[in-house]
Amino acid sequence: MTRRIPASTIRRLSHYLRSLEDLERDGGETVSSEELAERGQTTAAQVRKDLSHFGSFGKRGLGYKVEVLRDYIREILGVDRIWNVALIGAGRIGAALFEYPDFGSRGYKCVAIIDSDQAKIGTRWGDLQVRSPDDLQSLITDLGVELIVLAVPAQAAQEVAERAVKAGVKGILNFAPIRLKVPSEVHVEDVNLVMQLEAVSFAITQRTVGA
């Protein structure tokens, strides 16, 4: 719909979606921005503002219909469809993703696993076989992969990313602790657990030192 949506709005939309799914499981029919706010750790005004970027989905005096809003948010976030994902780097990080129950239920489908370790190539992971990096481009093209999970060591990441982008990948969930250089139309989302740990230790340290 509109341009220039704050990243914080997107994060909150993800929360709302989860809340709506919970509500539906519990048989809720409608929600108010108030109720959604409580569950999402924000304010009612914020909820309404977030949604207003994309349209008006509620009824005044009544609230939002749970199912309807859920579907709209799914559409906004682009999770109303299947995404073919390739996992590059068959280490523990990659494996961990599959433990996340929401991973599959949100439409992310792992269709290829690639690793450069000769010992891993050919082994089965569920119903997939680990493939060689040589097949990277052809796999991406043939399987229609738009999204990759990049879980390789830092020094290999840039090169792999470039090849993936060349083959048509549009988004990268990047676990390598480097800033990938990619064309601006490719979206990179960095996961950096050490950085998050540092945020924790900072908070504790300041709290201990400060007043």
Q: Minimum distance from CB of 44 to a second copy (Å)? A: 17
Q: Which is nearer to DNA, 69 or 113 (CB)?
A: 69
Residues 7-26 interacting with DNA (rule: CB under 7 A):
8-9
Query: Among all chains, which residue has been given the structure tokens 């020094």?
Result: 155
Residues 14-33 interacting with a second copy (rule: CB under 8 A):
14-15, 17-18
**124 makes contact with a second copy (CB under 8 A):** no
From 16, 64, 72, 108, residue interacting with a second copy (rule: CB under 8 A): 108
**147 makes contact with a second copy (CB under 8 A):** yes
From the list DNA, a second copy, none, partner contacted by residue 197 (C-beta under 5 to 8 A by kind): a second copy
C-alpha closest to that of 77 among 98, 35, 108, 42: 108
Dihedral (CA of 167, 173, 174, 179) sign: positive
Query: Among all chains, which residue has been given the structure tokens 């109720």?
Result: 35
**203 makes contact with DNA (CB under 7 A):** no
Q: Minimum distance from CB of 10 to DNA (Å)? A: 10
- Bridge partners of residue 109, in order along the sequence: 84
Structure tokens at 65: 């219909």
From 14, 46, 132, 137, residue interacting with DNA (rule: CB under 7 A): 46
Q: Minimum distance from CB of 45 to DNA (Å)? A: 4
Q: How far apart are CA 175 and CA 149, in angstroms?
A: 8
Q: Minimum distance from CB of 4 to DNA (Å)? A: 6
E-only strand ranges, 89-186: 108-114, 124-125, 128-131, 147-150, 171-174
Q: Minimum distance from CB of 198 to DNA (Å)? A: 17
Q: How far apart are CA 17 and CA 40, in angstroms?
A: 10
- Bridge partners of residue 128, in order along the sequence: 125
Structure tokens at 181: 């250089």
Q: Which is nearer to a second copy, 10 or 45 (CB)?
A: 10
**58 makes contact with DNA (CB under 7 A):** yes
